């Protein structure tokens, strides 16, 4: 879920990329980021023991940050914002709103006037500087080197008994084709790193489809995951401080039949929903949308078809809100075995927060009693705002839960230099 502040087009093209969906990203920078992530962590893996000590040292030297930021402000290199503006992402807005309620001072740090997702927070004599989400000082989990890497995550989880889809991550089409022949169909192909279903292709049944999907995924990542397509809906479970804060069903652009209206009529009616007018949730695709029509064809449906009452009709494959996706809170009906699995994963990762994406047919049943279900990815920087703004169901206060573990009721050294007077 990491936020990417790159341009919306490929460096070699002026056109917006349709395979990125509603969240286009710079292809060159995505590939570069993937290379750096793999080779940087491999190079410094022998120094992991020193990494935790260095992190602890930085936490003890953080008293240098306030005067440094003040200096940057005086030099007009940086400025501090004491409230969100139009550039602030919704993840930060949720944190800000809860910080105000809890007596936490939160400021955004902007260098050269650019939004960088960088913040300062303080409560009493305790404070922290962070990007994206705050985390506990002095703690770095070894899992950070692989939890966002889908291929490595798959290998680790398989050894630990966590359900994942069968498949491999590879940079070679020859290996991808061998794996494809060994897997049950349909198959899914996706970049080994990245998020928001960018350059992901599903419903693959033959080698030619695989080749096209493989080339598409390699546009933004040198390594590609080829795996069996799991059966069911996509869910997001967020664990903060060892507790499952919420579980959401992440629907692609979809609608529910009533046995009377055509798909076209249902779509037109849903697009009048006030929540679909933005800025969070966007409208469903309409007649003429190629991706929607391809998905309808896969379901043996068409715009003038009348789906049965309760029948879910998909109009796309991407679950992002910008692509017309929806978010349904299902926390209260999630089976305890699934909740325990999410806690187990968080314990494996040893990280204060994680967003776990998984696919399962029935959220109300144990994952151990269902086939073709499993974890598809973990996110070290989850969009906690998803739980604050579901399209249906009860909002969950993920930001408040996070602040409570960052600022517990403990004393902090009195030698701090607060920023609130800047």
Do residues 87 and 115 lie in contact, with contact meaning Cβ atoms separated by under 8 Å? yes
Q: Which CA distances in Å does 354 have to 184, 312, 342, 351, 373?
A: 30, 29, 9, 7, 19
Do residues 330 and 247 lie in contact, with contact meaning Cβ atoms separated by under 8 Å? yes
What six digits make up the tokens of 370? 């269902």
CA distance 60 to 32: 33
Do residues 286 and 263 lie in contact, with contact meaning Cβ atoms separated by under 8 Å? no
Long-range Cβ contact pairs of 414-417 (< 8 A, separation 24 or more): 414/125, 415/63, 416/63, 416/66, 416/122, 416/125, 416/126, 416/127, 417/63, 417/66, 417/67, 417/70
Angle at 221 between CA 218 and CA 223, to 5 degrees: 80
**pLDDT values of the chain reduced to their tens digit, one per residue, 422 residues:** 654 333 333 333 345 677 776 667 778 777 777 666 665 555 444 444 444 444 444 445 556 677 777 888 888 888 888 899 989 999 999 999 999 999 999 999 898 888 888 898 988 878 888 889 998 765 678 888 788 888 889 999 999 999 999 998 898 999 999 999 999 999 999 888 766 678 888 889 999 999 999 999 888 888 899 999 999 889 999 999 999 999 999 988 888 899 999 999 999 999 998 888 878 888 898 898 888 999 999 899 999 999 999 888 989 877 778 778 889 999 999 999 999 999 999 999 998 899 999 999 999 999 999 988 999 989 989 999 999 999 889 999 999 999 999 988 644 444 344 454 43
Cβ-based neighbour number of residue 349 at 10 Å = 22
- Per-residue DSSP letters for 373-386? -EEEEEESS--THH
Query: What's the confidence (pLDDT) of residue 23?
Result: 64
Q: In what order do the strands lie in the sheet with 353-360?
A: 326-329, 243-251, 233-240, 353-360, 374-379
Q: Print the SS3 string covering 304-372.
A: CCCCCCCCEEECCCCCCHHHCCEEEECHHHCCHHHHHHHHHHHHHHCCCEEEEEEEECCCCCCHHHCCC
Query: What's the confidence (pLDDT) of residue 302?
Result: 93
Q: Which CA distances in Å does 321 have to 73, 222, 338, 385?
A: 36, 27, 25, 12
Q: Which of 417, 421, 422 is nearest to 126 (CA)?
A: 417
Query: What's the confidence (pLDDT) of residue 418?
Result: 46
CA distance 184 to 65: 54
Query: What's the confidence (pLDDT) of residue 60?
Result: 54
Q: Which CA distances in Å does 320 have to 11, 281, 323, 338, 388?
A: 24, 9, 5, 23, 15
Query: What's the confidence (pLDDT) of residue 271?
Result: 92
* Residue 122, helix vs strand vs coil: strand
CA distance 256 to 213: 29
Query: What's the confidence (pLDDT) of residue 369?
Result: 94
Q: Which of 262, 180, 269 is nearest to 225 (CA)?
A: 180
Query: What's the confidence (pLDDT) of residue 196?
Result: 65
CA distance 110 to 86: 13
């Amino acid at each position: 879920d990491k936020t990417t502040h790159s341009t919306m087009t490929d460096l070699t093209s002026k056109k917006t990329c349709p395979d990125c969906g509603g969240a286009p990203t710079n292809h060159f920078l995505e590939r570069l980021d993937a290379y750096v992530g793999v080779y940087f962590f491999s190079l410094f893996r022998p120094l992991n023991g020193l990494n935790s000590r260095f992190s602890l040292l930085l936490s003890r030297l953080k008293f240098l940050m306030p005067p440094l930021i003040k200096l940057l402000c005086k030099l007009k290199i940086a400025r501090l914002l004491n409230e969100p503006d139009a550039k602030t992402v919704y993840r930060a807005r949720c944190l800000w709103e809860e910080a105000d309620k809890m007596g936490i001072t939160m400021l955004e740090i902007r260098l050269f006037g650019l939004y960088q997702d960088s913040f300062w927070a303080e409560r009493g004599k305790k404070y922290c500087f962070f990007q994206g989400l705050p985390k506990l000082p002095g703690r770095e989990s070894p899992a950070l080197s692989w939890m966002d890497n889908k291929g490595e995550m798959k290998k680790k989880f398989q050894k630990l008994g966590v359900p994942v889809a069968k498949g491999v991550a590879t940079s070679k089409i020859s290996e991808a084709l061998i794996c494809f022949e060994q897997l049950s169909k349909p198959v899914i192909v996706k970049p080994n790193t990245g998020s928001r279903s960018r350059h992901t292709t599903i419903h693959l049944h033959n080698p030619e489809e695989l080749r096209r999907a493989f080339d598409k995924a390699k546009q933004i990542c040198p390594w590609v995951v080829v795996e069996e397509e799991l059966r069911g809906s996509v869910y997001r479970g967020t664990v903060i401080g060892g507790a499952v804060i919420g579980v959401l069903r992440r629907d692609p652009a979809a609608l529910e039949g009533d046995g009377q209206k055509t798909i076209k009529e249902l779509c037109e009616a849903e697009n009048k929903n006030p929540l679909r007018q933005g800025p969070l949730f966007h409208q469903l695709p309409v007649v003429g949308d190629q991706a929607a029509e391809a998905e309808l064809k896969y379901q043996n449906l068409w715009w003038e078809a009348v789906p049965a009452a309760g029948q879910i009709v998909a109009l796309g494959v991407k679950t992002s809100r910008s692509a017309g996706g929806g978010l349904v809170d299902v926390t209260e009906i999630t089976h305890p075995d699934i909740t325990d699995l999410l806690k187990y994963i968080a314990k494996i990762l040893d990280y204060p927060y994680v967003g776990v994406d998984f696919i399962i047919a029935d959220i109300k049943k144990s994952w151990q009693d269902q086939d073709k279900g499993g974890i598809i990815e973990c996110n070290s920087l989850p969009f906690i705002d998803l739980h604050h703004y579901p399209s249906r169901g009860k909002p969950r206060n993920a930001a408040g839960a996070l602040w409570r573990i960052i600022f517990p009721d403990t004393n902090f050294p009195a030698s701090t230099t607060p920023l609130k007077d800047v």
